């Protein structure tokens, strides 16, 4: 029997989100129904609301979530009602050319629920990143629900599903930060601070946080940054080079995704250093580089897709690091809110007042 739940919907481009009644079907083959306990307010949700991703309105927002399995559909194995899960917006299919080559983190046919969730009048909803978790219940593909230790509080655990994983993975999986490396991270929001934490956990010797907001730089130090640079009044490339003996860093991570930050990250690397782009650029954004500089500086320029993660491997690991006291997920939670305060949370996020607002259901 379908379930009527309260959920946050973006009805029209740029308009304020609304709490609506949403109809969630029982799970079909390969699907699971999840009772959502907490869901973080991510910039990607705002991008959907503003029409910067697609124009397939209305959207059911929310994707950075933790909860418990309410029901499983036919053919689902390894998940049972009551299991505590973090939701992933990529679920490797196991059969595409990338999965068959042993690179499931690049899966080209990621799974989502086949059945749509709808408004009360039957109008189908587009689920943000295939999840739609600003809702009391949501329907996802079984592969999107990753079991983790139930000792983790949902407000913190859900953040692993997107922002924390993206930042941590950009440093560890994409950038391959290792013992003794020097790292610069541009942009110290949730993703950037997760990259800082990941770099520290993986043995980086020097981690330089770069931002234009002193409040964010203070937070970055709490996640392990050894040095900070306010780039509003200082050339960050020169500052980073000065902090690294004139050489630059081994890994530079752009967690902003703007042309100026990309060029800064490119230039603050040491020779043969790695640039990792994890901040999502806006549509139509372009960057221009002299090709001779790309050649002569060497190294690598990489995009990090979801932290190049394998959710079934990485989510439980990060939750364990949290429970062992090595990764402070609680520090990412700036506030907890109700469903009807998501629009307010978008405003605080735009103003840089929070790392994460988290909806608790």
Burial class (CB in 10 A: 0-12, 13-18, 19+), 224: middle
CB 204 within 8 A of CB 183: yes
Has residue 305 got a pLDDT over 90? Answer: yes
Report the alpha-carbon distance of residue 177 to residue 95 in Å, rounded: 30
For residue 303, count other CB atoms closer than 10 A to its CB.
15
pLDDT one-digit tens code per residue, 80-135? 999 999 999 999 999 999 999 999 999 999 999 999 999 999 999 999 999 999 99
Burial 250-268 (b: 16+ CB within 10 A, else e): bbbbbbbbbeebbbbbbbb
For residue 38, count other CB atoms closer than 10 A to its CB.
22
Q: Which residue has the tokens 């994409």?
A: 174
For residue 352, count other CB atoms closer than 10 A to its CB.
14
Q: Retrieve residue 39's tokens.
A: 């869901």
Report the alpha-carbon distance of residue 285 to residue 291 in Å, rounded: 18
pLDDT one-digit tens code per residue, 48-69? 999 989 999 999 999 999 999 9
CB 175 within 8 A of CB 150: no
CB 27 within 8 A of CB 141: no
Bridge-based pairing state of the strands 249-254 and 269-277: parallel
Whole-number Cα distances in Å, 352 to 64, 159, 219, 356, 357? 19, 18, 12, 10, 11
CB 92 within 8 A of CB 142: no
Report the alpha-carbon distance of residue 280 to residue 234 in Å, rounded: 24
pLDDT one-digit tens code per residue, 143-202? 999 999 999 999 999 999 999 999 999 999 999 999 999 999 999 999 999 999 999 999
For 77, the 3-state DSSP assignment is: coil
Has residue 329 got a pLDDT over 90? Answer: yes
CB 254 within 8 A of CB 261: yes
Report the alpha-carbon distance of residue 53 to residue 47 in Å, rounded: 6
pLDDT at 90: 92
pLDDT at 346: 96
pLDDT at 282: 84
pLDDT at 81: 98
Report the alpha-carbon distance of residue 109 to residue 189 in Å, rounded: 30
Radius of gyration of the chain measured on its C-alpha atoms: 20
Tell me 149's DSSP state: -
Any alpha helices (H) in 25-74, and if so which ranges?
43-49
Has residue 240 got a pLDDT over 90? Answer: yes
């Amino acid at each position: 029997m379908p379930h009527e739940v309260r959920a946050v919907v973006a009805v029209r481009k740029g308009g304020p989100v609304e709490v609506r009644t949403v109809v969630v079907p029982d799970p079909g083959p390969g699907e699971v129904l999840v009772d959502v306990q907490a869901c973080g307010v991510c910039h990607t949700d705002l991008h959907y609301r503003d029409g910067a991703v697609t124009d397939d309105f209305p959207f059911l927002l929310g994707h950075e979530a933790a909860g418990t399995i309410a029901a499983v559909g036919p053919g689902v194995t390894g998940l049972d009602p009551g299991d505590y899960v973090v939701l992933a917006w990529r679920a490797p299919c196991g059969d595409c050319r990338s999965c068959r080559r042993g690179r499931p983190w690049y899966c080209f046919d990621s799974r989502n629920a086949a059945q749509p969730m709808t408004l009360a009048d039957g109008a189908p909803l587009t689920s943000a990143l295939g999840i739609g978790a600003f809702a009391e219940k949501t329907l996802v593909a079984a592969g999107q629900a990753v079991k983790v230790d139930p000792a983790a509080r949902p407000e913190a655990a859900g953040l692993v599903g997107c922002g924390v994983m993206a930042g941590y993975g950009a440093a560890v999986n994409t950038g391959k930060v290792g013992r003794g490396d020097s790292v610069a991270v541009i942009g110290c929001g949730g993703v950037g601070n997760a990259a800082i934490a990941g770099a520290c956990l993986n043995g980086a010797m020097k981690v330089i946080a770069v931002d234009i907001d002193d409040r964010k730089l203070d937070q970055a130090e709490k996640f392990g940054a050894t040095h900070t640079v306010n780039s509003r009044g200082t050339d960050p490339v020169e500052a980073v080079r000065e902090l690294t003996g004139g050489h630059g860093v081994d890994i530079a991570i752009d967690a902003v995704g703007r042309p100026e930050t990309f060029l800064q990250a490119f230039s603050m690397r040491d020779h043969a250093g790695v640039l990792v782009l994890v901040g999502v650029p806006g549509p139509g954004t372009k960057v221009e580089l002299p090709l001779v500089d790309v050649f002569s500086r060497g190294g690598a320029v990489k995009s990090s897709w979801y932290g190049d993660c394998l959710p079934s491997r990485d989510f439980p690991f990060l939750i364990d690091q949290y429970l062992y006291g090595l990764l402070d997920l609680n520090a990412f939670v700036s506030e907890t809110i109700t469903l009807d305060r998501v629009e307010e949370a978008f405003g605080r996020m735009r103003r840089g007042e929070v790392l994460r607002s988290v909806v608790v259901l």
